[in-house]
Structure 1
Amino acid sequence: MKLSAPIPMLKRRARLLARTGHMPLHQALDRVAAEEGFGAWSLLAATSAATRPAGKLFARLSPGDLVLLGARPGQGKTLMGLELAVEAMKAGRRSSFFTLEYTEKEVLDRFRAIGADSAQLGDLFDLDSSDAISAGHIARRMASSPRGTVVVVDYLQLLDQKRENPSLMDQVRTLRSLARDRGLIVVMISQIDRSYDPSTKSVPDLDDVRLPNPLDLKLFDKACFLSNGEMRFHTA
């Protein structure tokens, strides 16, 4: 069954419904699912999972990769990051999600939005939503992680928001070294500049990455961009 809009947009509709209708998010999600012809949100999420591109993207990533995952707000970049973590766990690998943007509850809500049961994640998944997140913090936490572990960082432009943290360039270099030295796959979620115009370019690219501070994007081995349900993949 074809959905009326991509999953991220349906979830945004549910969040708005929850606020305006003064109802729990899970109830709003189920109501949106019913409008799409599904008995519950979990059924919608599970059905659409087979057609989402996370599996294809995961298959193109290799241990040692530093990956940029970019999109404008509401286009599903956080959900894609979590889906990559789920794909890693399906393959028997560990995954870690570091976020300066969301609380633990919000991350678990997003797991439910993609049809994943956080209770079944077990020891393969780690979540860090502390204010101490920086490249150095991540490197220390992942120092003994096995090869092939997927590390998702949410998000790039927040890493140097504290003055005591190293520059964004230095932190990305640290994470690049971490990926290569430990054989990890480090995925960095990124904002897209407000000047990006989807009417002239259907999907953003490296030229559209928001860079409030200097950063050499050539440090990334691969990049993926999302817009209106479409995905574009780039290699260095």
Structure 2
Amino acid sequence: MKLSAPVYHLKRQAKLLSREAKIPLHEALDRVAAQEGFASWSLLAAKAAEAAPAGILFAQLAPGDLVLVGARPGHGKTLMCLELAVEAMKSGHRGVFFTLEYTQRDVLGRFRAIGADPARFNDRFVFDNSDAISADYIVRTLAAAARGTLVVIDYLQLLDQKRENPDLMAQVRTLKAFARDRGLILVFISQIDRSYDPARKPVPDISDVRLPNPLDLSLFDKTCFLNKGEIRFHAAG
């Protein structure tokens, strides 16, 4: 059974119901679950956990989030981000993919690789591989983007490769303020440093992000790291 909204949104509904009806939160959660066709909140949560990893991750994202998805080459970070875009579009939002790496044909091929029909989302998906991609360019391009739009930026370390662009820290701060102001979800694909050793640590973490230029990684609200099919998700705070 498909939920009418992401789990985080249903939780917000329950909290509001708890305050308005002056009932315990657990009772409000069960009422919301009943509206979704489940006998209890625990059953709803269990069903949500059975979803694909991208579905689970998407359910934990909220408008205004900055998300970092990192992995070594070939471990699925681009596919994961496209799956997040698909989840957003399935929920009625738009998906935008900014890249300095791929052609539109490449990306459409990857949609098919994850079992998604590009034609189904033709009016909700925007592909942009302009050479001008930077924080300022993204802000201008998405000036009218609707709340809940999920934006993939491929990839983090390329934003300041041109000398005329602001430094990486300034660009990420600009994008963070923009995401919060517009209610967008910004997902950054990130490289992992070559020093990362999977023999010592099965999945990379925030300390393994490749940073050729200074960047305060606490600017990201959530992180997701992948390696050999294993996924680690972390929410700041």
> Is the shorter-chain TM-score for this pair beyond 0.5, marking a shared fold?
yes
Question: How much is the aligned-residue C-alpha RMSD, in angstroms?
Answer: 1.0
> Which residue of structure 2 lines up, in the alignment, with residue 55 of structure 1?
55
Matches within 5 A, 1:98-177: 98-177=98-177
> Which residue of structure 2 lines up, in the alignment, with residue 204 of structure 1?
204
Q: Secondary structure of the residue that 1:143 maps to in structure 2?
A: coil
Give the AA of the match of 1:129.
N
* Shift, 1:51, TM fit: 6.1
Q: Secondary structure of the residue that 1:123 maps to in structure 2?
A: coil
Give the AA of the match of 1:59.
A
Q: Secondary structure of the residue that 2:189 maps to in structure 1?
A: strand
Q: Secondary structure of the residue that 1:189 maps to in structure 2?
A: strand
Q: What is the CA–CA distance in structure 1 between the aligned matches of 2:220 and 2:51, rounded to whole Å?
A: 27
Q: Deviations over 1:151-196 (max 9, x none)?
A: 0000000111111111000110111011100000000000000000
> Which residue of structure 2 lines up, in the alignment, with residue 178 of structure 1?
178
Structure 1: 5+ residue stretches without partners: 1-49
Percentage of matched positions with identical amino acids: 72
* Shift, 1:66, TM fit: 0.5
Q: What is the CA–CA distance in structure 2 between the aligned matches of 1:224 and 1:178, rounded to whole Å?
A: 21
> Which residue of structure 1 lines up, in the alignment, with residue 67 of structure 2?
67
Larger Rg: 2
> Which residue of structure 1 lines up, in the alignment, with residue 78 of structure 2?
78
- Structure 1 runs of 4+ with >2 Å offset: none
Q: With structure 2 as the length reference, what TM-score do the two structures score?
A: 0.77
> Which residue of structure 1 lines up, in the alignment, with residue 95 of structure 2?
95
Q: Deviations over 1:101-155 (max 9, x none)?
A: 1111111111111111111212111000111111111111111111111000000
Q: What is the CA–CA distance in structure 2 between the aligned matches of 1:196 and 1:165, rounded to whole Å?
A: 29
Q: What is the CA–CA distance in structure 2 between the aligned matches of 1:62 and 1:87, rounded to whole Å?
A: 13
Q: Secondary structure of the residue that 1:61 maps to in structure 2?
A: coil
Structure 2: 5+ residue stretches without partners: 1-49
Number of aligned residues: 187
Q: With structure 1 as the length reference, what TM-score do the two structures score?
A: 0.78
> Which residue of structure 2 lines up, in the alignment, with residue 9 of structure 1?
none
